[in-house]
Amino acid sequence: MENNKIILLFDGICNLCNGFVQFILKQNKKRNIYFGALQSESGQRLLKEKGLPCDKFETLIVITNGTVLKRSRAVFLICSQLDFPWPLIGIFKIIPRFISDFVYDRIAKSRYFVFGKRDVCMIPTDDVSDRFI
C-alpha cells in the first residue's frame, strides 16, 4: 500500500456507513481513500492481519501507513482527506478522545435503529469499483 493510501473498513450492511462511503466518494478528489466492507473477504483478511475482531462491526476502521485508527479518530482522519470545508472538522480533535468516542459510540449503537440496514453489502458501480478492495 502506498504511503498516501487510506483504507476505510465499514459495516457493509449499515445504511449510515454506506451513506458515509458515498459522501466520501464525492468529496475525496485526491482519490486516496479506498473502501472495504468489514464483512467482505478482504475486510476480514485485513482485520485478521491487524489482530482485530472479525465478528464485531461497531466502528469504522482506518488503516494507513500500518496504523489502525478507530471511532472518532478514524472519522477525523477521513475528514482531513476530503475537499474543503470538511477538513475543518479536525478542529474537534481538541475535544478529549473519551468525549468524542463517547459521541461516536452513541451514534454507532443507534445506527441500525435510526438509519436502518441492508440485507446485503453494497456493490460498487463500475465508475468507483477501483476504489474498493
Has residue 86 got a pLDDT over 80? yes
Q: What mean pLDDT is predicted for residues 67-77?
A: 96
pLDDT value of residue 3: 57
**Cis peptide bond prior to 85, omega within 30° of 0:** yes
CA dist., res. 71 & res. 107, Å (int): 10
Q: For 73-103, give one letter per residue: b (16+ CB within 10 A) or e.
A: bbbbbbbebbeeebeeeeeeeeeeeeebbee
Look at residues 17, 131, 14 and name the one whose alpha carbon lies nearest to residue 74.
17
The yes-or-no verdict on residue 122 having pLDDT over 80 is no
Q: Looking at the predicted structure, is the pLDDT value of residue 67 above 70?
A: yes
Whether 9 contacts 100, CB under 8 Å: no
Q: What is the mean pLDDT of the chain?
A: 92
Task: Specify the 3-state DSSP secondary structure of 37.
Answer: strand
- pLDDT for 117 beyond 70: yes
**What's the average model confidence in pLDDT over 69-96?**
95
Domain ranges of the chain: 6-116
The per-residue pLDDT for 23 is 96
- Give me the pLDDT at residue 2, please: 52
pLDDT at 32 over 90: yes
Q: Is residue 1 scored above 50 in pLDDT?
A: no
